[in-house]
Amino acid sequence: MSPRQMRTALGRAAGLGSAKEGVRHWWRERLTAIALVPLTLWFMASIILHSSNDYAGFVEWLKRPSATFMMILLLVALFSHTALGLDVIIKDYTHSRAKIPALILMRLTCSGLLAAGVLAVLRIVFRQ
Amino acid sequence: MYRMEVKLQDLLISSRRPRSPNIQIYRPQLTSVLSIVHRITGLTLVIAAIGLVGWLIAAADGPHAYGVVHNALTSAAGRIVLFATTFAFFLHLCGGIRHLAWDAGYGFELRTIYSSGWAVVAASLVLTLAAWITDLFMQG
């Protein structure tokens, strides 16, 4: 199902509501939320199972292809969900000129954190 | 349009008139409390997400940096923060599942809204304790 189909018949006929947008945001927030249910539970279970491990044990765990795969998916879903959530919070509570700069700063920070997280995982996994 | 909106907001703030809903005189209810808790836990988890990246960067740096972060996380203060974060995580997870059920069109009856709300609180407490008890057993 695409975001276009999620829009009600009335919404389509009236040609957008007062906000003029929002279906895509709403849909992505749900998709990332659903993805994060197994990903975050996997992460928590893995941390509990490997919490007694030292550094070598941690690296060995993250080097497993399934763990690398899940960790990168977790970072992608987590930071897109974070950006979508913070987007709503900033728009709800910022009523000054600071709104647009805050949105830009938030988006760039989320992208930067995602890139940094994925790079860190790759460095750990591919180090000789 | 945008400018008018800004001016109206400034007027409301400067005149200190009550804004709707008047949350300062409104009796807190499970529904409204859980609604704002979902946002607060979301913001808490943003900080946790930044911490996750910091933890991965430390691990990528090497055993020394990883050890420093690991010791901080397993200190008394670190454990208290992690416990609170775990509770915030489960509240947001269970609250999120409740939201997804609403999105699918289920659970809008008043009785159901209250029972699902208390279920979120109970499940979050149980899951947080279960996670930490399991962690204790894994270490022991």
Cβ-Cβ contacts under 8 Å, A40 against chain B: 89, 93
What interface predicted TM-score (ipTM) does this complex get? Answer: 0.88
Q: Which residue has the higher pLDDT, B82 or B26?
A: B82
Question: In this complex, do B42 and A89 lie within 8 Å of one another by their Cβ atoms?
Answer: yes
Q: Which residues of A60-82 are buried (b: 16+ CB within 10 A; e: fewer)?
A: ebbeeeebbebbbebbbbbbbbb
| B63–A55 C-beta distance less than 8 A | yes
Average pLDDT over residues A61-81: 97
pLDDT over 90 at A11, yes or no: no
End-to-end CA gap in chain B? 63
**Global pTM?**
0.87
Q: What count of CB pairs under 8 Å joins A to B?
A: 77
Quick one: pLDDT band at residue A51, thresholds 50, 70, 90? confident
- For chain A, the 3-state helix, strand and coil shares in percent, each to the nearest 5, are 80, 0, 20
Percentage of chain A exceeding pLDDT 70: 87
Asked if B56's CB is within 8 angstroms of A117's CB, the reply is yes
CB contact under 8 A, B49 and A52: no
Residues of B in contact with A33 (CB under 8 A): 96, 99-100
Cβ atoms A67, A61 nearer than 8 A: yes
Residues B29-52 have pLDDT tens digits of: 999 999 999 999 999 999 999 999
As a whole number, mean pLDDT of residues A103-117 equals: 98
Q: Kindly list the residues from chain B whose CB atom is less than 8 angstroms away from the CB atom of residue A124.
A: 56, 59-60
Backbone CA torsion sign across B77, B82, B83, B85: positive
Distance CA A79, CA A99 (A): 20
What per-residue confidence (pLDDT) applies to B1? 46
